[in-house]
Structures are given as structure tokens and as C-alpha cells.
Amino acid sequence: MIVLGIETTCDETAVAIVTPGEEGGGRILANEILSQIAEHAAYGGVVPEIAARAHVEVLDRLIARALDRAGLTLTQMDGIAVAAGPGLIGGVLIGLVTAKTLSLVTRKPLLAVNHLEAHALTARLTDGVAFPYLLLLASGGHTQLVAVKGVGDYVRLGTTIDDAIGEAFDKVAKLLGLGYPGGPEVERVAETGDPERFALPRPMLGRREANFSLSGLKTALRIEAERIAPLTQADIADLCASFQAAVVDVVVDRLRVAMRDFAGIAGHPTALVAAGGVAANGAIRRALAAEAGQAGLAFVAPPLALCGDNGAMIAWAGIERLRLGLIDDLTAPARARWSFAEPAAAMA
């Protein structure tokens, strides 16, 4: 089984070819990615119109290049997978129409994949993790703790009530005059900073549900920054370090709640899994690994290249769905919003 995967939901145009490998995981035969970061950097964020146009310009070439790298032709694919949302609708439409066209021409099954589900299943591609597992999915648009019970069987244990974690990193970076995307910049600058200089709040700490809130933390940081302005390099480093430390504390606390809730919903998890762009953050990874260790769980985080948006995760989710016969037809819609995990029923 060989599946082509297309990802165009945000600012990355990505195409990959994946096949099942040994030990339950997958083998990546090609993984092409073109980031538009340079095109959006001047605006300090992704501009949907620019993103959509950039996808159109490079997608065909990227598909050709992926096939070339894998030494395969389109007719050798067993399925055409595409992220049909959630995301910026212009980009989603371009990926979806392209995939439908390829599916129609080659008569291979179309697999309209949820981008978040693809992030959620990446640990099975890289490490063959068995169900059920506890997932922290944290990206620029999403922050969720999820019980992953099976393909298409996801229970949301918690989510953010305002900003996503990656979004908070991006906003803090913008506020402090750092580059875009903000996460890697804040992490880099935080390395030389003092995480204890600013006593920033830890929103939601101790709350019963595994939800997050980050906008208050971001506001507290802005107030501190304004109070001591003008900022030196050392101030910026201390602000970044203090912010990151607060995020880590919040993540750990929320994770503990989710671990407890998981037991009542899905039994004993096989692993703690991190996914999404924020999973690239070293401080967060180390904290998650430590928590997993204490709970006697394996900790699995995809390699950095597979944490952010990529085509391999789309192709893999396509394989998982194709195996179960979950095929889509040409009426599959493009969805700007598309939740993949049902919220857990109110727990006593």
C-alpha cells in the first residue's frame, strides 16, 4: 500500500509518499516541503490570500518532485490523501481540488483527511504506537489533550478557552520584536534568560477540567514589558524565559488532570504522545518526558521535521483510513473548521 499525501492548510505546501513499514509504523518514501515563511514574515503572520496563491504556484511541481524522489509514478499509488481541513479555506481548496483531480484521473481512492487527526496519528507513523494513547496536540491554531482510542475514535479531554499555545508564543514574539514564527524564536532567546525574574501567572492551575487559557499570561507579559521599557536584550531574554517557564508549568498541570481523566475513558494509555508545531519546543518536550516517566509511560514525540505541518502525516492518516475502507468520494467538502475529537461527556 502506497499513499500520496498533500498538505496545504496553512503556510506550508507539502507532499509526501508513505507506505506501511515494519513493526506497525510507516516508511517515508518522499517528503517534500516548501515553507512560505519568507512570504508572510513581513506581515508577522500568515496572510490567507498570499498563502493560497503560493500553494497554486508550487503544488504541481512538488508532487512531481515527490514522485521523482520515490522513483514512483502516480499510477503506482494506492490512494491520494489530502488535508481537507481545518485551515485557511483558500489553501485547503487548492489541495483538495488537486487531490480530487489526481484521484479522478488515476481512479485511485480519495482520502479526505482531517489535518488534526493527521497530527494525532503521526506517532504511529514514526513509532508504531498502539492505541489507546494520551495526546497533547499543540500548534498555532490548536491546543488539545485527547484520548486517542483508535482511528476515528478520539475523545477530547481538554482544550484552550482562548489562545492556542503556539499562538501565544507567536504573539509574545511579535510583542517583543522577535521574528515569525515566534515559537522557535522565543525558545532560542529564552535559553540565555532568567525564568524566575518575572512572576507571570499560571492560568487554570489546579482546575478540575484539563482546559488551557493563555491570553491572561500573554497580557501579564505585555504589562511587565511595558513597565520596564525600553527593553534591553537581557530583558527580552528574561521575559521569554519567564513566559516559557509559565507555559511549561501550565502544560504539566493540565496534563496531570488529563492523565487522571484518561483512565475513566480509555483505561491505561500505552504512551504519552506530543504532536503539532509546539512539540518542537525543547523545554516542553523535556517536561512531558519527565511527566511520562513518572507515570510509567513511554513518551513519544515525532522528530522535529514531523512535528510541524508536513505531507507525511497526511499520507499516513490516509493509509490508516484506507486500511479501514474509509474512502471519500468527489463530493468531499473543504472545511475551514473541522473538529476531530468529541468532547468528553461532563465528568463528575
Site for ligand KG4 in 77-116 (CB under 6 A): none
Work out whether 309 is an interface residue with Zn ion (CB under 5 A): yes
Q: Which is nearer to ligand KG4, 88 or 210 (CB)?
A: 88
Of 98, 103, 139, 242, the one binding ligand KG4 by CB under 6 A:
139
Cell of 290: 519527565
Cβ at position 164, least distance to Zn ion in Å: 10
- Regarding beta strands 342-343 and 153-159, do their DSSP bridges make them parallel or antiparallel, or are they unpaired? parallel
Of 79, 109, 308, 311, the one binding ligand KG4 by CB under 6 A:
308
# residues near Zn ion by CB under 5 A: 2
Of 7, 163, 170, 209, the one binding ligand KG4 by CB under 6 A:
170
Cβ at position 119, least distance to Zn ion in Å: 6
DSSP label at residue 142 = -
Cβ neighbours of residue 61 under 8 Å, at least 6 residues apart? none
Selection from 92, 38, 72 nearest residue 332 by Cα:
92
Of 278, 315, 317, 322, the one binding ligand KG4 by CB under 6 A:
278
Cβ at position 28, least distance to ligand KG4 in Å: 17
# residues near ligand KG4 by CB under 6 A: 20
Q: Which does 193 bind (CB under 5 to 8 A by kind): Zn ion, ligand KG4, none?
A: none
Q: Which stretch binds ligand KG4 (CB under 6 A): 48-56, 176-184, 248-256, 326-334?
A: 176-184
What does the alpha-carbon distance between residue 253 and residue 204 come to, in Å, rounded to a whole number?
9
**Amino acid, single-letter form, for residue 226:** E
* Pattern 132-161, Zn ion, x by CB under 5 A: -------x----------------------
Cβ at position 101, least distance to ligand KG4 in Å: 25
Q: Which stretch binds ligand KG4 (CB under 6 A): 61-69, 93-101, 203-211, 278-286?
A: 278-286
Find out whether the peptide bond into 203 is cis, omega within 30 degrees of 0: no
Strands (E), the chain: 3-7, 12-20, 26-35, 79-83, 110-113, 133-138, 143-150, 153-159, 271-275, 298-300, 342-343
Site for ligand KG4 in 247-276 (CB under 6 A): 276
Contact 51, 62 (CB under 8 A): no
Cβ at position 23, least distance to Zn ion in Å: 26
Q: Which stretch binds ligand KG4 (CB under 6 A): 146-154, 163-171, 262-270, 314-322?
A: 163-171
Strands (E), 172-313: 271-275, 298-300
DSSP notation for 45-90: S--HHHHHHHHHHHHHHHHHHHHHHHT--GGG-SEEEEE--SS-HH
Q: Which is nearer to ligand KG4, 266 or 278 (CB)?
A: 278
Other CB atoms within a 10 A radius of the CB of residue 253 amount to: 18
Q: Which does 85 bind (CB under 5 to 8 A by kind): ligand KG4, Zn ion, none?
A: none
Q: Which is nearer to ligand KG4, 187 or 291 (CB)?
A: 187
What does the alpha-carbon distance between residue 32 and residue 318 come to, in Å, rounded to a whole number?
17
Residues 134-161: b if buried by 16+ CB within 10 A, e if exposed = bbbbbbbbbbbbbbbbebeebbbbbbbe
Strand order across the beta sheet in which 133-138 lies: 298-300, 271-275, 133-138, 143-150, 153-159, 342-343
Of 209, 253, 291, 309, the one binding ligand KG4 by CB under 6 A:
309
Half-sphere exposure for 339 (CA within 13 Å, toward CB)? 11
Binding site for ligand KG4 (CB under 6 A): 10, 139-141, 166-167, 169-170, 181-184, 187, 276-278, 280-281, 308-309
Binding site for Zn ion (CB under 5 A): 139, 309
